[in-house]
Amino acid sequence: MDLGASLASTRDTLYDLTNKRILITGGTGSFGQLFIKTILERFDPAAVVVLSRDELKQYEMQQKFENAEEKIRFFLGDVRDVERLKQAFRHVDVVVHAAALKQVPAAEYNPFETIKTNILGAKNVIDAAIACDVEHTIALSTDKAANPVNLYGATKLCSDKLFTAAGNYVGVGRSRFSVVRYGNVVGSRGSVVPFFLKKKDEGVLPITDKRMTRFWITLQQGVDFVLDTLGLMEGGEIFVPKLPSMNIVDLAEAVAPGVNIEVVGIRPGEKLHEVMVPEDDARSTIELEDRYVVLSSVTSPETSKWSKKGKKCEDGFKYSSDLNDQWLTIDELRKMSVPFNA
């Protein structure tokens, strides 16, 4: 599935980042680097600000973007530090909040550290954006925030709730807050494709459960979806793209044809199938051609502007990877995995 093509219906709303100042928290990560590369290719922003904690990663990123050094600013800082965020957010038009502690086992072992970054950090981003009158702030979420079964997912759900409610505190300011939630990113840090590629040389791939399914998206598609959402957001929404699903056994065959499979069982905090719109959210969800829009709990679907753009989901609906009507073939999965098999 070409998500870029599916976004064509909303391209007239594309938010023009020319002459804008854009900041991305956690900007040295894989998403942040591709996001910055993409906006530098498509627009002429006034400045792009990278805020992150690791000076080595910032140094390495400076080498990659040395031809755009007049555009990119690097800030050492932590989303746990609201005063530093306020310094960084001054005169910024757009904030993309990508900083988070994301590894499920690490979150279970260090729960309050995860809370301080993922929940209190989200509150700090909101407070700084309002204080500095940032126009658009988008937070990156995860499928694990829908009906969470682990601490990481629970902290991201709380973050989502903070962002969708943030508009209640803006008053007369221009600040607007929304969330983008999508599924597994092909080849992202700690994801299954690099793990399978590493294991295939051993002749056996460990599979948790042969029934397991996941939504599947490339990093570029994720970046494009965030950029597209900037032109759509009114504030208070969670935007969920319509994505194809894949079966874990098909992925194993795509990455390592003919390799032996060992079923090892589902790990603690893991789901058999991914859900991005739970049943309980269906009553406040609007379906568009290429995405779902989950409205905040204080917004009525009947009176929302989104009701004129799409249709309200029926009670009992859920957007789950096992119930999808779009499935990736083994050949399609293989093509998506090629960059990591080079």
Residues designated as active site: 144
DSSP letters spanning 94-134: EEEE------HHHHHHSHHHHHIIIIIHHHHHHHHHHHTT-
3-state secondary structure at position 53: coil
Distance CA 254, CA 167 (A): 44
Q: Which residues pair with 50 in a beta bridge?
A: 24, 74
Core vs surface per residue 59-75: b (16+ CB within 10 A) or e: eebeeebeeeeebbebb
Find tokens 């969920």 and name the residue: 240
Q: In terms of Cα–Cα distance, which of 179, 174, 182 is closest to 163?
A: 179
- CA distance to 52, 77, 198, 205, 242, per residue, from 138 (Å): 17, 19, 34, 37, 19
DSSP character string of 189-249: TT-HHHHHHHHHTTTEEEES-TT-EEEEE-HHHHHHHHHHHHTT--SS-EEEE---EEEHH
172 CB burial (10 A radius; 0-12, 13-18, 19+): exposed
3-state secondary structure of 29: coil
Give residue 256's region: left, alpha or beta (phi > 0; psi -120 to 50): beta
Q: From residue 165, how far is each of 122, 181, 299, 338 by CA, in Å?
A: 12, 16, 10, 41
Residue type, 220: Q
